[in-house]
A = this chain, B = another copy of it.
Amino acid sequence: MDINIKIVDQIDCTRVYEDLSHPGSGGVCVFIGSVRNTTANETVNELFFEAYEAMAISEMEVIAKEATAQWGLNKVIMHHAIGTKKIEEPVVLVGASSAHRTACFEACRFLIDTLKERVPIWKKEFFDNKKVWVTPHP
């Protein structure tokens, strides 16, 4: 089991294959979440991310271990950025490395979905004339 978890100021996407490649893996699946220029048809200028860092890391570890056990992964990576992020900047990078491709695709989707549900990180959206903490309503 090889788990690589970080809260960073800037996501580095250039090392992702180095971080996930493994002699026993035939496939690596990676998801990168980035700042989109609109949300609900309004123009977004930038985002700000805040984390409860120690807990975010321990929650990501739980998620990574769960994924490793369920899909028999060789490697997992989960990086999340904090601070101000401009349009097109990466804010989250998750990835899984496995013998066959179905496992890494399913695991990668689980990593990002579960991160979004459980990991204590908050996003504030900056528009032209307002800024709001994103709080999903039921």
Residues of A in contact with B (beta carbons under 8 Å apart): 13-18, 20-38, 87-88, 90, 99, 101, 104-105, 108-109, 112
Looking at chain A's contact residues, the main secondary structure is: mixed
B residues less than 8 Å from A108 (CB atoms): 29, 105
Distance in angstroms from A91 CB to nearest chain B CB is 9
Complex Cα distance A23/B37, Å?
6
A101/B31 contact (C-beta < 8 A), A14-B14, A16-B16, A22-B88 known: yes
A34/B21 contact (C-beta < 8 A), A101-B112, A109-B105, A112-B101 known: yes
User: Taking the full assembly, how many copies of this chain does it contain?
Assistant: 2
Contact of A99 among B18, B29, B32, B36 (CB under 8 A): B36
Can you identify 15 A-B contacts, CB atoms within 8 angstroms? A13-B16, A13-B17, A16-B30, A20-B32, A21-B88, A23-B36, A26-B33, A26-B34, A27-B31, A27-B33, A27-B34, A28-B32, A29-B31, A29-B32, A101-B112
A105 touches B31 (CB 8 A): yes
Complex Cα distance A55/B52, Å?
52
B24 touches A38 (CB 8 A): yes
B residues less than 8 Å from A18 (CB atoms): 13
